[in-house]
Amino acid sequence: MKVAIFPCNYIFIYTFKSFTPSYQPKETLQQQLITSLQNVSPAVVQIMAEDITMYYQEDKYQNGLDNQNLQKKGNGIIISTKWYILTNNHVIDSPDLKYTIVTNDNKYFVVKKIWKDEILDLAILLVDDQNLPTQANFIDIDTPLEIGTFVFALGNPFSEYPNTASFGILSGKWRKITTSWSTNYYGWLYQTDVALNPGNSWWPLANLSWKIVGIITAISRWGNNIWFALPLNKDFITNLINNLEK
């Protein structure tokens, strides 16, 4: 073996610098969920209704009828800071009651007008002339939403635990059901396995990009964690508001 030796009159000095990757690591699933909840929750509101109901009071001291002021609570979501709240039609069981909106920061707004759509099971509430603090963001109509997409619901179970969150996936699409409160037939609903309780209507269903994709509308009586949501998107909400303001 022959080795070539080259004379060298220079000394080369190399300086190595620490390498910082140009990319940033993605958020973990938990971080995405927490961030999404923080961005969606301010647009979720409670709906309270004042009603005078006669009830029968019986004890060893008093028998008879009396009046009691009851608070019927539901959930809704701010779709425009200019006074509009969206909820389920069956949440607003009587348009003759006095309804009040309570926001996430505990501000109260009196409902002035109600529009009801029994076919879609939707109701729009118009509050007084004060601007609402924020509004929800909705998914674009051309954004694909695939089965298996992570979703969460946010609301107030039993009207006792506001800002309760539940996490799951989109389990199915184009589900066909009829509901117990009407004879309407629905053939385009989302199915989800988020853990909810009966009475959790109008919980917004959102993805991890802070976008509302639907509203919880119904539950299956024959299974566990089989919920159905009415799909929503930005175009639908925009057209809805434009029609109200004509």
DSSP characters over 98-110: EEEEE-TTS-EEE
Count the Cβ atoms, other than its own, within 10 Å of residue 112. Answer: 12
DSSP characters over 111-133: EEEEEEETTTTEEEEEE-SSPPS
Does residue 201 carry a catalytic annotation?
A: yes
Q: Which two tokens stand for residue 15?
A: 């300086």
- The answer for residues whose C-beta is within 8 angstroms of residue 177's C-beta and 6 or more apart is 185, 186, 189, 218, 220, 228
How would you write 3-53 as a 3-class SS string?
A: CCCCCCCCCCCCCCCCCCCCCCCCCCHHHHHHHHHHHHHHHEEEEEEEEEE
* Active-site entry in 36, 121, 171, 193: 121
Q: Which two tokens stand for residue 25?
A: 């690591």
* Active-site entry in 80, 90, 166, 171: 90
Does residue 129 carry a catalytic annotation?
A: no
Does residue 90 carry a catalytic annotation?
A: yes
First to last CA, the chain: 94
| Residue 159 · residue 132 · CB < 8 Å | no
Spell 68-84 as b/e; 16+ CB within 10 A means b.
eeeebbbbbbbbbeebb
* Active-site entry in 36, 80, 166, 201: 201
Catalytic residues: 90, 121, 201
